[in-house]
Amino acid sequence: RGRVGWISHTAGSAVSAVAHQAEVSGIGIDLEQDRDVADIVHLVAFGAERDWLDSHPASIRERKMLELFAAKESLFKAVFPTVKRYFDFDAVELEPQVDGSIFRGRFLTPLDGLAPHTTVTISVGRSDHEVLALAVLA
């Protein structure tokens, strides 16, 4: 009781994140194995996010796309228990911070249960073949 958390897994790996509900209202985590994600870019990246992806050399663009996808997945998981409904990835815009390992999520579509202008911080890290994203809803 009084905790929020989530799990994520891929073939051969699993992660979890738990926090006290008194400190955060939502937490989400996503673990993704490197894979071809070019076919879903139109479902994940919009406007400034597409510009950000296009600003990277072609050799790492797919990797950055997977990081963006994992960040949005973790954000969805952090927010879903509060809003209690599905929302598309175009409902939120992610803005990369500093070196691109941290994103700030800003909701473009009002969602019941979230205050207007709610932002979420998402940290993204990677190993040789996996991406891990952690979203915290303050």
Q: Provide the pairing of β-strand 130-137 with 26-33.
A: antiparallel
Cα separation, 46 vs 23, whole angstroms: 31
d(CA 65, CA 35): 10
- Find the radius of gyration of the CA atoms of the chain: 14
* Higher-scoring residue by pLDDT: 84, 99: 84
Say what the pLDDT of residue 125 is: 95
| pLDDT tens-digit series, residues 34-54 | 999 989 999 999 999 999 999
Instruction: Identify the residue whose tokens are 């998402």.
Output: 122
Question: To the nearest whole percent, how much of the chain has pLDDT over 70?
Answer: 100
**Confidence grade of residue 98 (pLDDT, cut at 50, 70, 90):** confident
Dist. CA 53–CA 128, nearest whole Å: 20
Give ∠ CA 76-17-23 in degrees, rounded to 5: 85
> How confident is residue 115, by pLDDT bands cut at 50, 70 and 90?
confident
Span 108-119, average pLDDT: 86
pLDDT in tens, 7-26: 999 988 999 999 998 898 89
Report in angstroms the alpha-carbon separations of 126 from 66, 133, 134.
10, 9, 12
CA–CA separation, 73 and 30 (whole Å):
6
